Amino acid sequence: MLYEKTKVLLYSTLTVGFLATVGGMAKAQDKGGEWPMYGRDYANTRFSPLDQINTDNASNLKLAYSFQLGSLRSNESSPLVIGDTMYVTTSWGPRYVYAINAATGERKWTYEPEIPEDVLQFACCDVNNRGVSFSDGKIFVGRLDGKLAALDAATGEEIWVADVVDYKQGSVITSPPLIVRNMAIIGFGGGEYGVRGSLQAYDLETGKEVWKTWTIPGPGEEGNDSWKGDSWEHGGGAPWYVGSYDEKTNTVFWGTSNPGPWNSIVRGTADSNYGNFKNLYTSSTLALDADSGKIKWHQQATPHDAWDYDGVNEAVLADLKIDGTDFPAMMKADRNGFFYVVNRETGKIKSAEKFVPVNWADKIDLETGLPVEVSEKRPGPGRPAKDICPNLIGGKNWQPMSFSPQTGLVYIPSNNLCMDWTVSEVAYNRGTFYLGAEFPTKVGPGGHLGELLAWDPVAQKKVWGLTEDLPFNGGTLATAGGLVFYGNLHGVFKALDAKSGAELWQARLGSGIGAGPISYSIGGKQYVAVVVGRTASLPAFLGEVGKAMVAASPEGGALFVFTLD
Amino acid sequence: MTIVASPWKRHFGTPSPTHAPQRCFRGGAAAVVALSAAVLLSGAVWRDARAQDAAKPFRLCVDPTNPPFSTQEPKAGLYVELGEAIGKALNRSVSEVWHLSYFGKRALRTTLLAGQCDAWIGLPEISDFMGPQIIFSNPFMNIGYAFVVPKDRDVSSLDDLKRQRVAVQFRSTPQNILAERNDITAVTVMSPEEGVRAVADGKADAAFVWAPVAGYLNLTEFNSAYRVIPVSGEALEWPIAVGFSRKQGDLRDAVDKVLPDLSVLIEALKAKYGFPTETPIKFGMADTRGVGKLAGAPAAAAAEPANAAGAPAVDAASTTASLDAGATGEGKALFNGTCAHCHGPDAIQAERKIDLRRLRRKYGDKMDGVFRKVVVSGRPAKGMPAWGEVFTSDEFDQILAYLMTVQTE
C-alpha cells in the first residue's frame, strides 16, 4: 500500500497527509478541513476527506453566503482555505486577491495589484487567474503581467515581486505556483505567440531565482535536433497550468503546451512521417528533479503536433491496484483525447485509451509511446483535414478532474467536439486586419458537446457519464461523503452520487462555471465553495458553438459557499 | 487605452521628421480672449458651413498604434491623412475614433458594425472578410510582404536567395514558404522591424517581411540603404479598401466617387511613408514547392488540391457557362466526383455557408466572377482548397453550368 504523503513542507505548522488506495476508504491522517493548495494535495486529486455532507443529506445543501468578486470575464479560481481564512482570486490580473473569513464571508483584506491595461492583447485565451499558493504565512500569486508576487497572508501587503517573464512577448501567468520546500515553482503561457517555454523556481523568502529549466532544449542539448532550423527558439511548449509533486522521489510533474507555429512544416515535416522532428518537449509531461529542475524523463502525448493539442493538463498521482500490485500512477486526461496511465517513477506508459471520440490516431503504441496516426486527419500546407476529433479545445481542457480513492474513479469534465483544420494562419501585421484561420467547429458523435465522465483508470473505461449540451464545463470535486460536485456552462452547480452519477442536488448560480469547487470545514462544519463566471474570449474561436456558449449565461464574478443547516 | 510613448519613437527610434509632436496650447489671458473671439467667429462660420453641407462629421475608426498607417500621438499616418482627404472631398469634417485593430473582427463588430464610426480605412478587400455585413469601397492600394536587400542586390525570385539566410516573421506566409524549401535558411523574427535589423546587423542576408513597416523603417532610420521589393500572390498581398457597415451603402458609393480623384495623393502618401514602389514580383508554384524536397516529406499526392499560393490567374471575364445539356451533364459528374465531398451530392447541403444552391441569392450577377475566383484560388481560411491546378477552365465552365441548374429562388 503506498503512502501518499502530502505536506506543506517548510516552516508551516500544518502537516497534511492521507492514504490513497483503490477500493479502500481513505484514512484521513490530517485535519482534512483545509484546502491548502490548488488541487488540495500535491497529487492534485481534488479529493476531500470530509464526509459530513454526504449522499444522505446533500439534497439539504443551502447557501451559507456569497461573495461578489468585482470582476467579470473568466473567473477560474480554486480558493484556498488555511485555518479559517479563504484566499480567492478574480479575473483580470488578478484584479483582486481577497482574504475572507471562510465561515462567514467577511472580508479580511484585499490585494489589488497594478496590472497594465494592455495585457489583453497578450492573453490569448482570456484574462484569467486560477488562484494562489500558500506557505509559511505567505501567499504567492502569479500575475498576467508576468510577475510572481509574495504577500503577507495576514495583511495582503506585498513582500516581494519577481519578474518571471516579459508579458509583452505574449507570456502571461494564469496559474498558481507549486510550493516545494523553500521554492515556488511557476511557468507561464504564450505558446501561441512564439515564446520558448520554461519552468522556474523562486526562493520563498527572497524572491530570487533558484533554477530555471527550458522546456525546449537549446543548441547542443539533447532533443534540440527534434526541431528544424531555428524553430526551437519560438517553439512554444509553455507550461502554463499547474504542477504536481511526488515527495517520495522528489519529482515535480508539469505539462507543456503545443508547439508553434501551427504550420508543422516550419518545425519539421508536413505529414505523419516526422521522423526525428518530434518537437521536444512540447505537448508533453515533464518529470523534473525538484531541487535542480533537471528533467528526469518526459512523456510526449502528441509528437510534432498539428492540432493545437496542448499537453498542459494536470498530472493526478495515485497508487492504483493493477494486476494485483500497487502501481505508482501518474494519470492524465490529455487534450488529444487519450487518458494516460504512466508509471510516475519511470515514465513508461502503462495504458492509454480514448476517453472521448478520437480519430486523429488509432491508438498509442505502448512500446514506443508514439501515437499511431490516421494520416488524413493530420492537416498540412495545402491539405486541410476535416472532421478531426477531438477539436482544438481538447477532450479535456484546463478545468480540473478529481480522483476518489473511495470509488477508484476519476471524474473528468470532457468535451465532445470535432473540427476542420486548414493550415493558413497569418499573424497580425499592421495596416490591415488579422486574417487568421478559422476552425469550423463540429459537434461530436451523439450531439452532446460535453460530458461529466466517471472513468475507471485501471480498466480504462467509462463507468457512468452525465451528458451536457455545451462543452467547457467546470472542474470536479470528489468527497469522502460519496459525492462529486461540478458546475456547467449554464451556471448550474450540482452534487452527484459518485458511484452512480445520480443527481442529488443543484443550484442555479447565474453565470457559467469553469473553476474547480473546493470543500473545507471550520469549527466542525463542512462547506462546499465554487467560483462562478464564464469565459468571454474562447467562444470566438468556436463559431456557432461559441455563440451558444456565450448565450448560455451572462458574464459573472462571484463566490458561492454552501453548507447544511 | 493610453499611449505612453510615441509609437513612432518606439518602433523606429526617431520620430518622422515630417511630423512635429503635438504641442499644448500656451498663452495667457490675452490669448484666451483672442481664442474666445476666434471661437465665436468660427462658430458663426461653422454654422454657415454646417448649414451648407448639412452633414455630421465623418467618423473614421483608426488604430492609434499603427505606424506608418495611423498613430494618435502624434496624429499622423497614411490612413489618417487619407481619411482627412476623403472627408474634405466629401465636404465633411473628420473625427477619429481610436481603436486597436489587433482584435480583428471583434474590433470591427464593436465599432464599425455597432455604429460607432462610419468607416475604417485599411480593410482587406476579400469577399469573405465579414461579408455581407461589411461592404468595401474599391481597393485603393495593395499591401503585403517584400524582400528587403542591400541596395546593390537584385532579387527577382526566391531562387536568388538560395543558400542565404533570410529573415521571416513567425507565423507568416513567408515563413511557410521558406519552410517548404531546404535550400534557404530561415532566420525567424517576431516583427518586420526585427527582420530589417537582422539584415543591418549581418544576422541575415535578406528579409522577407511586411513591406509597409519595413519600408518606413528603411526610409526613416536607414536612410533608404535597402531595397524593398514587394511580392504578390496568394496570402502575400492584399487589396486594401475602405470598409463600411452594409447599412452605409450611400456613403460607400460617395467614397467610391471621390477615390479616383485622390489617386495622386495616395501615391504621394505612399512615397512619403516609404512604401515600396517597385513592381511586385509575382509568386508562382515554382517558388513555393521548389527545389529540394525535404527529407522525409513525401511529394504532394497528385490528387491533392494545389497550394493556393501560386494558382495561376484566371480571366475573370471569361465566357459565362453555356447551359446546354452536355455541359451540365459533364458538370454534374465533375461536381459529384469532387465538390460533392464537402458541398453534398447534387449540391444538396444543409449547412447554409457551403450550400452552393444559394450562390445566386448571395451574389446575384456577381455569381460567375465569385465562383471562378473561389474555385481557382480557394478560401484557405475556410477550408476550401484551390482547384486552379486541378481543373481546366472548361471544366470550371461545366461545373458552373451545372450549378446554374440547381439554384434556389
Residues in chain B: 409
Nearest to A271 among B66, B124, B298 (CB): B298
Q: Cβ separation of B188 and A432 shorter than 8 Å?
A: no
Identify whether residues B57 and B179 lie together within a single domain: no
User: What pLDDT does B39 receive?
Assistant: 53
Q: What is the CATH number of the domain that holds B208?
A: 3.40.190.10
Mean pLDDT of A28-47: 86
Of A4, A34, A247, A308, which residue is the catalytic one? A308
The verdict on whether A544 is a catalytic residue reads no
Q: Cβ separation of A427 and B172 shorter than 8 Å? A: yes
Taken in order B360, B361, B362, B366, the sign of the CA dihedral is: positive
Residue A435: pLDDT band with limits 50, 70, 90: low
Residue numbers of B between 3 and 62 with CB closer than 8 Å to A: none
* Same-domain pairing of B227 and B373: no
Say whether residue B169 is in contact with chain A using an 8 A CB cutoff.
yes
Q: Do B244 and B137 sit in the same domain of this protein?
A: yes
Q: Assess whether B36 and B118 both reside in one domain.
A: yes
Domain that holds residue B246: 28-141+239-272
Q: Could you tell me if B137 and B247 lie in one domain?
A: yes
Peptide bond into A177 cis (omega under 30): no
> A153 pLDDT band (50/70/90 cuts)?
very high
> Looking at beta carbons, which residues of chain B come within 8 Å of A421?
383
The CATH number of residue B358's host domain is 1.10.760.10
Least confident of A209-223, B39-53, B212-226: B39-53
More confident position, A519 or B368: A519
Least confident of A322-326, A370-374, A433-437, B287-291: B287-291
Regarding the domain delimited by A47-109+122-563, which CATH topology (the fold level of the hierarchy) does it fall under? Methanol Dehydrogenase; Chain A (2.140.10)
A233 at B interface, C-beta within 8 A: yes
Residues B80 and B117 in one domain: yes
Please work out, in degrees rounded to the nearest 5, the angle formed at the alpha carbon of residue B72 by the alpha carbons of B68 and B74: 80
Q: What's the whole-number mean pLDDT along residues B239-265?
A: 95
Q: Does residue B70 share a domain with residue B178? A: no
Q: Which residues of A touch B179 (CB under 8 A)?
A: 228, 263, 265-266, 381
- Distance, CA of A80 to CA of A258 (rounded, Å): 29
Give the number of C-alpha atoms closer than 13 A to the C-alpha of residue A458, restricted to the C-beta side.
18
Q: What is the mean pLDDT of residues B323-342?
A: 72
- Catalytic residue status for A56: no
pLDDT band at B350 (very low <50, low <70, confident <90, very high): low
Q: pLDDT digits over A505-516, tens only?
A: 999 999 999 999
Q: Classify residue B315: in a domain, yes or no.
A: no
Q: Are residues B117 and B257 in the same domain?
A: yes
Answer for the pair A461, A409: CB distance below 8 angstroms, yes or no.
no
Q: Are A430 and B215 in contact (CB under 8 A)?
A: no
Strand order from edge to edge, sheet including A133-135: A133-135, A138-142, A147-152, A158-163
Does the annotation mark A192 as catalytic? yes
B111 and B163 fall within a common domain: no
Q: Is the peptide bond before B276 cis (omega within 30 degrees of 0)?
A: no
Residues B172 and B218 in one domain: yes
Give pLDDT, residue A173: 96
* Distance in angstroms (rounded) separating the CA atoms of residues A93 and A142: 9
ipTM value, please give it: 0.86
How many domains does chain B contain in total? 3
Span B212-225, average pLDDT:
96
Average pLDDT over residues B42-48: 51
pLDDT at B316: 35
- Find out whether A501 and A464 touch, Cβ atoms under 8 Å: yes
Residue B395 lies in a domain: yes
- CA–CA dist A245, A316 (Å, integer): 9
Query: By the CB < 8 Å criterion, does A376 face chain B?
Result: no
For residue B41, the tally of other CB atoms under 10 A from its CB is 10
Residues B36 and B158 in one domain: no
C-alpha–C-alpha distance, residues A372 and B44, integer Å:
79
A301-320 pLDDT, tens digit each = 999 999 999 999 999 999 99
- A29–B contact, CB cutoff 8 A: no
Question: Could you read off the pLDDT of A248-259 as tens digits, one per residue?
Answer: 999 999 999 999
Cell 509609437, located at residue: B7
What is residue B372's predicted lDDT score, i.e. its pLDDT? 84
Confidence of residue B272 (pLDDT cuts 50, 70, 90): very high
- Does residue B59 belong to any structural domain of this protein? yes
Share of chain B above pLDDT 70, in %: 72
